[in-house]
Structure 1
Amino acid sequence: MAKALEFYFDYISPYSHIANAAVKQLKKHNDTPVEIKPMFLGAIMQGTGNRPPGMVPAKNTYMLADLQRCATRYGITIRMNPYFPLVSTRDLLRATIGLADDPQEQQRFIDACFSHMWETPEALKPDDDASVKAMCDAEGFDFDEIKRLAADEANKAVMKENTDSALARGAFGSPTFFVGDEMFFGHDRLDYALAAVTA
């Protein structure tokens, strides 16, 4: 029996935007179960002493070119979010968790968040209510319901559990995939993760 692919991500990560596109393509051609695990990347960075690539000049220069290559491969576009990386995505992550009972609606919300973070000219500022409401209005989500889900204590607890679990299992960035006890960092390791699913 195939194992599940656990997909840990944070909307603040542009490479998680790429990974979301890669996972969606995988799901079109493969029946591997995918478990969505929103986590708070700020806590991962703090817990491991890692630094965002945008804070390291040489990495930032490379990242800007690399993201365009990756986006082209997966048929999406990418624009650098002017608020990156100094904004909080906690509310969006918690709301995502709260939509888990309806996987299609959850995926639609995930796509909307990534698109408005990393594609649309009017970049999403995820810790600003007016910006989030504009996204919700544009994509057909009930802003008040999204706010309710973001404030729900059970959803907060799940996000903390996801983040703590990722740290305990060795995660140091986003996106991170797990298949059983094996960890795979980055969307470009998805082929290896898929091989582990059926091993």
Structure 2
Amino acid sequence: MAGKFEFYFDYISPFSYVANAAVQQISARTGADIVIKPMFLGVVMQATDNRPPGMVPAKGAYMMKDLQRCTTRYGLDFRMNPYFPMVSTRNLLRATCGLDNDPTEQKRFMDACFQHMWASPTPLKPDDDDSVRAMCEQEGFDFRQIQELAQASASKDAMKANTDSAIARGAFGAPTFFVGDDMFFGHDRLDYVEEALKAQA
């Protein structure tokens, strides 16, 4: 088996944090390539008239319990980010797009962003330069380079294209996955992603 599947995500989504671990297991089992698609979730939700679970009290209460279950299943540390959801992840997403010419470094940056957003005792505030600088210094990234990538026209265009394509293809939240034209929403649908990959083989 091999093939590929697309992983649309935003660092603001704690379930994308879970998915980032889960997709690695899918890729290891199937040999499929993961196509990284950083998208700006706020625009997707606005375009589809969706609301974050935390904005609905009953959903918010359930989400906290569910996140504990999900992170425990995948062996992940978890701390609720106190800045969620009222922060912008645009620059981190753009920088991630800008690293696409070096997949190893792109993956390392993704892992760092997710870890510092959702597991660090000093939570990342993604729209605060001092907070991002501290993460970069701790993880061995050049903060100035990350800033430059975030402001590069090519990075901005790539993130916008990912966001626009997600909306056009029917996405309404994160994480969202595609195997060909088939869409799967939520990390808990990755078993269906794996079945779709097997069907393509």
> What is the TM-score normalised by the length of structure 2?
0.97
> How far is the alpha carbon of 1:2 from its aligned partner?
4.3
Give the structure 1 partner of residue 134 of structure 2: 134
Map of 1:162-181 to 2, 5 A cutoff? 162-181=162-181
Give the structure 1 partner of residue 38 of structure 2: 38
Which amino acid in structure 2 is aligned with residue 122 of structure 1? T
> How far is the alpha carbon of 1:78 from its aligned partner?
1.0
SS of alignment partner, residue 198 of structure 1: helix
SS of alignment partner, residue 3 of structure 2: coil
Give the structure 2 partner of residue 56 of structure 1: 56
Q: CA RMSD in A?
A: 1.0
Asked if 1:81 is matched to 2:86, the reply is no
Q: Aligned equivalents of 1:27 and 1:113: distance in 2?
A: 20
Q: Aligned equivalents of 1:25 and 1:139: distance in 2?
A: 23
SS of alignment partner, residue 100 of structure 1: coil
Q: Aligned equivalents of 1:190 and 1:174: distance in 2?
A: 13
Give the structure 1 partner of residue 21 of structure 2: 21
> How far is the alpha carbon of 1:103 from its aligned partner?
1.0
Contact 1:82 1:123 in 2 (8 A): yes
Q: Aligned equivalents of 1:28 and 1:194: distance in 2?
A: 11
Q: Aligned equivalents of 1:171 and 1:26: distance in 2?
A: 21
Q: Aligned equivalents of 1:56 and 1:111: distance in 2?
A: 29
> How far is the alpha carbon of 1:194 from its aligned partner?
1.4
Q: Give deviations 1:133-183, integer Å, cap 9, x for gaps.
A: 000000000000000000000110010000000000000000000011100
Gaps of 5+ in 1: none
> What is the TM-score normalised by the length of structure 1?
0.98
Which amino acid in structure 1 is aligned with residue 14 of structure 2? P
Contact 2:88 2:127 in 1 (8 A): yes
SS of alignment partner, residue 45 of structure 2: helix
Identical positions, percent: 67
Give the structure 2 partner of residue 117 of structure 1: 117
Q: Aligned equivalents of 1:145 and 1:177: distance in 2?
A: 29
> How far is the alpha carbon of 1:25 from its aligned partner?
2.0
SS of alignment partner, residue 70 of structure 1: helix
SS of alignment partner, residue 125 of structure 2: coil
Gaps of 5+ in 2: none
Q: Aligned equivalents of 1:108 and 1:20: distance in 2?
A: 11
Contact 1:39 1:163 in 2 (8 A): yes
